[in-house]
Structure 1
Amino acid sequence: MAITIKDVAKLASVAPSTVSRVIANNPRISEKTKVRVREAMVELGYHPNFIARSLASQSTQVIGLVLPSSSDVFFQNPFFSTVLRGLSEGAHEKQYALQMSTGKTEEQIYQDVVNMVQGGRVDGIILLYSRIDDEILKYLRDRQFPFVVIGRPCEWEEEITHVDNDNYRASREATEYLIRLGHDKISFIGGNKNLVMTMERLQGYQEALKGAGIPIVPEYVRHDEFLLERGQEAIQGLLLLETPPTALLVTDELMAIGVVNTLTKLEVAVPENMSIVSFNNVFFSELARPQLTSIDINIFDLGYQAAKSLIQMLLNPKEPVKRIIVPHQLIERVSCTNVQSLKK
């Protein structure tokens, strides 16, 4: 015979409604009672029927995740696996599941979102990116469907809850760090120009150069997808310039690894002949040879705060719009050196 909520309630000496509230992790139930009910559930081998709960509450307990249009970037770049861990932990705390979009093109991903929303498959959605002129964001806003963006929205910033870093400031600080080391030939290797993050980091880089009276050299600015091979292609082009840079600001760790690998093959020593500051501070930073100086943007917390914020919206539709800025930190390692050493 199947174990029911009534059986759990009897063993825990509580009402069946209390068991239901414990399963939903209702904050009004004391921790002492939660522990007693959960111990009874384990002892009896009781497993909640979440499908039945969803039908009763008109809630799926599922959050939809919208990935970037390039699946290569998502599956290869450790940024996304780290942010996914944060999302998973934030969702798990309130017993929500995650459902990812599976389309490979922008059109397919857009249709995935429509199916999620109109099919009632998810309670809310998290966009794992912020793109200029994004049709998905417009669709969700027009339908007044609950959603959160990781990154600063290009439009309607004051109307949309989002979790982000101060990308402008982080990039400016990283560039100023290289300038203090004496570099005045600094290249910017960034991501897709349609990403708001990329443009904010580019602006920070440019403002740091202007503040130091260093001319902005258009040829020093390169944009591409956050992939290993794109970093390789970017540095190859930069080294062919009549006056190559002596320092690089690479806005993604995977691209930075591609840069380092190419420099090693070409016998351009880091940091003796080229200084590098990267972004993200994932495990690649310490595995690289040499270890990379990197901007730690607390990726896990980006995901965790996004999940937490969306669930708060779902539990309280009157939850105010939030702009959550996750702090960053420059982690110094050994991929940078003073420009004077390059002249010896």
Structure 2
Amino acid sequence: MSTIKDVAKLAGVAPSTVSRVIADSPKISKRTKERVKEIMDELGYYPNVHARNLVNKETNVIGVIMPSASYAPFQNPFFPEVLRGITAQANKDKYGLYLSTGQTEEGIMEEVKEMVYSRRVDGIILLYSTTSDPIIPFLLREKFPFVVIGRPPEDYADVVSYVNNDNVKAAKMLTEYVLLLKHERIGFIGGRKDAYVTLDHKHGYEQALKTAGIDINPMYFVYHDEVFEGGEQAVIELMAQATPPTALVVADDLMALGVLRMLTSMGYRVPEDISVVSFNNVLMSELSAPPLTTMDIFIYELGFQAATLVREQIASPPLDAQARIVGHKLVRRSSTSRRITKESTL
């Protein structure tokens, strides 16, 4: 096995120069760097990054905290897509990722503590944000670099760095689109009731109805933690109303697939009998039957920006909290249509 001394001898430089090349020191000329890297390739030499990181007191690893297994994160295409964005930035900066494996919220909290106290990672990306999650106050107390994908709690809004969409505005736009199709009885199917994204979607939905002068019907609100199955159950609850909705605003595309399947099994036609809109614009939304009208929230970009921001937090502590807002775009497909009324057929 080749050593750093072997590389230095063949390159005609000191071992310390090889170390500086590995560290990408600006004090080493481009020509020398190229020569040393050629020799490293010839000898098949790979630097001991772990040992170097121990000296630098860095791991060059970022922790990624997923929701607990009870919320089946890998069943929802949102999480693989946001991880794709994080991974793209990780590959660019040549650092590793450590994914949490906690099965419960208590287990995740213990895993985060172990990451921080053992310095297993240099920083953390939290892939969700809820009203009562203990991780954010813990990381703040420990002054540990971290970034949230989503909106942090109001009490910490000025001290937590995060990447998010304007979910209130996005939900308002989506609901307004349904209103323009002449629907007035619009149901809302939310996810976790304690998730800030659910609260913001509900707020935007309510804003749109109030602006249109439509009374908010509390019987049209349904929440489910389960995603696909939750969509199915929500349809049963809403369509059992004496006056069921003619359109549904759904938390995300996977839940909307459950909605579509249950509506079909109950004999409803989409969009002729009822229109359905959702959020995220994952691949399955385009392949569903019918293809879903959805709000693209640019999930990949959320992950990429979060990974960039946490690296900045690590490189320059203490760094003031930053907020980065990723845009959104309405993608119109075949799950929506203008509501047919007696007046419109005259």
Deviation at 1:168, TM superposition (A): 0.4
1:299 — aligned with what? Answer: 299
1:56 — aligned with what? Answer: 55
2:284 — aligned with what? Answer: 284
Q: CA offsets, 1:77-105, max 9 Å, x none?
A: 11011111111111222221111222211
1:331 — aligned with what? Answer: 331
The 1:59/1:240 distance shift into structure 2, 3 A limit, reads same
Contact 1:272 1:341 in 2 (8 A): no
TM-score by length of 1: 0.93
**Residues 29-40 of structure 1 mapped to structure 2, 5 A cutoff:** 37-40=36-39
1:267 — aligned with what? Answer: 267
Q: Secondary structure at the match of 2:72?
A: helix
Deviation at 1:23, TM superposition (A): 4.0
Q: Secondary structure at the match of 2:256?
A: helix
Identical-pair percentage: 49
Q: Secondary structure at the match of 2:248?
A: strand
Matched, 1:46 2:45: yes
Letter matched to residue 112 of structure 1: E
Question: Which whole-Å CA distance do the structure 2 matches of 1:31 and 1:314 have between them?
Answer: 27
Q: CA offsets, 1:76-135, max 9 Å, x none?
A: 111011111111111222221111222211111111111111112111111111110221
Question: Quick check: 17-26 or 97-106, which moved more?
Answer: 17-26
Deviation at 1:69, TM superposition (A): 2.4
1:150 — aligned with what? Answer: 149
2:104 — aligned with what? Answer: 105
Q: Secondary structure at the match of 2:158?
A: helix
1:4 — aligned with what? Answer: 3
Question: Which whole-Å CA distance do the structure 2 matches of 1:205 and 1:162 have between them?
Answer: 23
Question: Which whole-Å CA distance do the structure 1 matches of 2:273 and 2:196 have between them?
Answer: 32
**Residues 115-264 of structure 1 mapped to structure 2, 5 A cutoff:** 115-154=114-153, 155-264=155-264
Contact 1:9 1:37 in 2 (8 A): yes
The 1:231/1:29 distance shift into structure 2, 3 A limit, reads farther
Deviation at 1:43, TM superposition (A): 2.7
Letter matched to residue 115 of structure 2: M
Q: Secondary structure at the match of 1:277?
A: strand
Q: CA offsets, 1:117-166, max 9 Å, x none?
A: 11121111111111102211111111111111111101311111100000
Number of residue equivalences: 343
Letter matched to residue 243 of structure 1: T
Contact 1:226 1:252 in 2 (8 A): no
Letter matched to residue 54 of structure 2: L
Contact 2:238 2:244 in 1 (8 A): yes
Q: Secondary structure at the match of 1:125?
A: strand
Deviation at 1:26, TM superposition (A): 6.1
2:85 — aligned with what? Answer: 86
Deviation at 1:27, TM superposition (A): 7.5
2:316 — aligned with what? Answer: 316
Letter matched to residue 206 of structure 1: E
Question: Quick check: 208-217 or 7-16, which moved more?
Answer: 7-16
Deviation at 1:15, TM superposition (A): 6.2
Letter matched to residue 316 of structure 1: S
TM-score by length of 2: 0.92
Extract unaligned runs of 5+ from structure 2: none
Question: Quick check: 316-325 or 11-20, which moved more?
Answer: 11-20
Question: Which whole-Å CA distance do the structure 1 matches of 2:219 and 2:189 have between them?
Answer: 11
Deviation at 1:301, TM superposition (A): 1.0
Question: Quick check: 13-22 or 303-312, which moved more?
Answer: 13-22
The 1:18/1:74 distance shift into structure 2, 3 A limit, reads farther
Extract unaligned runs of 5+ from structure 1: none
Deviation at 1:3, TM superposition (A): 2.0
Question: Which whole-Å CA distance do the structure 1 matches of 2:239 and 2:96 have between them?
Answer: 47
Contact 1:228 1:255 in 2 (8 A): yes
Q: Secondary structure at the match of 2:340?
A: helix
When the two chains are superposed, the root-mean-square deviation of aligned CA atoms in Å is 2.2
Q: Secondary structure at the match of 1:290?
A: coil
